[in-house]
Each structure stands twice: as structure tokens, then as C-alpha cells.
Amino acid sequence: MSVLARLGLSRCINAAGTLTRLGGKPMAAEVIAAMAEAARVSIDIAALQQFASERLARLLGAEAGMVTTGASAALTLAAAASIARDDLARMAALPFCPPPNEILLPRTHRSMYSHALAAAGARLVDLGHNDRGTGAGVRGLDAWEIAAAITPATAAFAFAATAETIPSLPAIAALCRARGIPVIVDAAAQLPPRDNLRLLLAMGADLIAFSGGKAIGGPQASGILAGRADLVASALAQQLDMDIRAEGFSPPPLLRPMFAKGIPQHGIGRGFKAGKEEIVGLLVALDRFAAGDDATDAAALQARLRAIAARLAGLNSVRAELVEGGRVPVLAVSVDPPARAAEAVLGLKAHDPPIHVGERRVAEGTLLVDPQSLLAEDDALLAAALAAALTG
């Protein structure tokens, strides 16, 4: 009997994407085996993170990297690193650290994940307007506004990467670099394209956060923080368990410059510890992901979506359309009258097992089938349930 069944739990069918609230993307057997193997042994976590740093540095073209417990945790650690740098007393003071403790954040880049930056004790300073978002105008954030906002209290600049914002990164990074302000880039869900693994750092990001549980296919509670070695070292020092005697401790190379000053206390990131299972699992998943190819993946997903669309063809008042050009292909299933879409969402959630589809366009009568976390063996079941929910 399966563990879930023994506990009386039910899985769900996820056609909504790599959503964290649905458990992220199911892991490949090789990644699960790697985590299980790591779970059976004891290992020096600082040395393991040093190993991870070298692997991530090579794969991402970064000076250093570390495994975190998600992109959100990576943002908190990035903020803590930007505020405390290599100052052990400032690390110990967080989250109540004197300036520089401000992070500049364009209003167009603010999201619910901005809370992760504030959690380190950063004061978020909103920049610019959201004219395009509100339809009030055509202007974005001007360079002079950023330059004018940088003060001695500024610790970092926060940048949310999307297909729309990425082109503005090089200019912002150059401006901030000239003023000694690190740029923290939230690229949690910006994979694929795989090029983004290296592109945003090459564009000048000082620190970048990726989610491990989304497209990379790593453990759900894993992520990556990578970039400048001094900042990653600060982040790592604030995440690792520091209950060590200085005399008997030989710090890994990444931490050596900082530890020459003394041993930090448990940092603000101590509660975000990455386990050996997450670290090993993330590295194996990332190797698999990096070895793959965007076009091959997209073609395979398109073929599956076309088969699901074929099952819906001919249904009254239902239209299924393949949407390409996004990060991954999705199937947009529209129903008439549009109000039936919301009913269908409820009907699918009442299915056994519950089925989740993308709800972003429900108001216009469209369900989105995002195949990233959908097990191929569930495709036929999903198509039949969709047909029933949309016509029932």
C-alpha cells in the first residue's frame, strides 16, 4: 500500500504549472534516488555547500553559489548579505541593523515576494511609478530616478526578472555597479529558457535567485543563490549552523576570508538551512536540466497538449488552442458562455483525485493547461475530466 494511501492522503493532478502550493514539479527517479542516498549518510554541510558553490559557479558562470531552501529564502539571504557584507557584528544585529539597510525596489518590480527581502531587516524603498501597469502612461523607471535614490543608506537594488524587464537589466546593473550597489535579481521562475541560467549574471546581476522546485525539477524546498563570491560567502555564513569551536574548524575556501575575522553567530538565515538531501537533490536535478534542450522539451510538451486538444475537439462551445511563445507551451481551453469556466474549475477540483488547471484567465472563460508538472500517464484522465467538466 502506498504511503499516501496508508495515511489517508490523496495526490492531485497538476495541470497548473510548477506551482509551489501544489508541491512544485514532480522529481525524476534519478533525483529522488540522489536525495535518498544523501538521507542515509552524515556529511559536512559546509564542505557540501563549498562543493555546490563550485558546481554552480561553473554552470551559471558565477563566482560562487549556494543551495538555499527556495528562491524566496535566497532573496532573504541576498538581502542579509547585502546589508551585513563581511561584518560579523552586522550579521549578528540583523534584522535590526543600522544603515546601509535600504533596498531600492521599482514599483513595477514589487510582488508578494518582496516580503522576502524585508524579512532580513531591509527597509524597502519604492522607486518610480507604475504608469504602464495602470494604463496611466508610457514611462518606465528613468536612470536619473535610480541615481537620485541611491544614498549612503542604500544596501542593494532589487530587480524582478521577467521577459519584459530583462532588457533593462544591463543599464541598471551598470549604474548600480558604478555606485557600489549590488543588484539582487529574482529569477525564480525564469527557466526555461536555459540561457537565463547564465544570461542574467552576464548582464550584471550581482546575486541571482532561482527556484529549485520549479522547472529545474529539484526538491520542492530547494533553490539557488549565485553571483559575487563575497556576497554569497556572507549569505552562506548567515545560513550555516555556526555552533563550532574556532580552534577545530577549517572553513571551506569560500568562507576563509570572512572567517579570518572570527566565527559568526547563528545568522538570520539559520532557519533556512538546506539539508543534505536538498543540496544533493538540487545539484543532480540541475545537471539533468542543464543537459536538456529547450526546443526538444517544448516539442514533447506540444505533442502531449495536441493530443489533449484532440480529445476536446468537437465538443459544443469548447475551443482548445495551443499557445506558444511563452516559457513553455500551454493549452488554452475556452468555453462559451465564459461563466462556465469558473464552474468547470470547481468541478475539476471536486474530481477524485482533484485536478488543478491554470486559473489566470478564468474570468474570460479560459482554462489553461500547463503541462510542466502533469505526469504523462495522467494526460488521458485529464482530457476526459476536462471534457466532462466543460460539457456537464
Q: Which of residues 351 and 361 has its CB atom nearest to ligand PLP in the complex?
A: 361
Count of residues that interact with ligand PLP, criterion CB under 6 A: 11
Choose which of 46, 119, 155, 188 interacts with ligand PLP (CB under 6 A): 188
Closest CA to 182 of 228, 214, 136: 228
Residues 85, 88, 89, 95: what is their CA dihedral angle, to the nearest 10 degrees? 60
Minimum Å gap between C-beta 156 and ligand PLP is 16
**CB 357 within 8 Å of CB 345:** yes
| Residues 6+ away with beta carbon under 8 Å from 209 | 68, 71, 74, 75, 78, 184, 185, 186, 187, 188, 223, 224, 225
Minimum Å gap between C-beta 1 and ligand PLP is 31
Question: How many Å separate Cα 102 from the centre of its chain?
Answer: 23
The radius of gyration computed from the CA coordinates of the chain, to the nearest angstrom, equals: 23
Question: How many Å separate Cα 197 from the centre of its chain?
Answer: 12
Minimum Å gap between C-beta 20 and ligand PLP is 4
Q: Which of residues 211 and 234 has its CB atom nearest to ligand PLP in the complex?
A: 211
Which amino acid makes up residue 117? L
Choose which of 213, 218, 252, 358 interacts with ligand PLP (CB under 6 A): 213
Which amino acid makes up residue 237? A
Q: Which of residues 193 and 257 has its CB atom nearest to ligand PLP in the complex?
A: 193
Interacting positions 298-357 with ligand PLP (CB under 6 A): none
**CB 158 within 8 Å of CB 110:** no
Interacting positions 84-123 with ligand PLP (CB under 6 A): 113
Choose which of 17, 22, 65, 70 interacts with ligand PLP (CB under 6 A): 70
What nine digits make up the cell of 120? 532580513
Binding mask 215-234 for ligand PLP (x = CB under 6 A): --------x-----------
Q: Does 23 bind ligand PLP (CB under 6 A)?
A: no
Q: Which of residues 67 and 173 has its CB atom nearest to ligand PLP in the complex?
A: 67
Minimum Å gap between C-beta 161 and ligand PLP is 8
What is the binding site for ligand PLP (CB under 6 A)?
20, 70-72, 113, 186, 188-189, 211, 213, 223
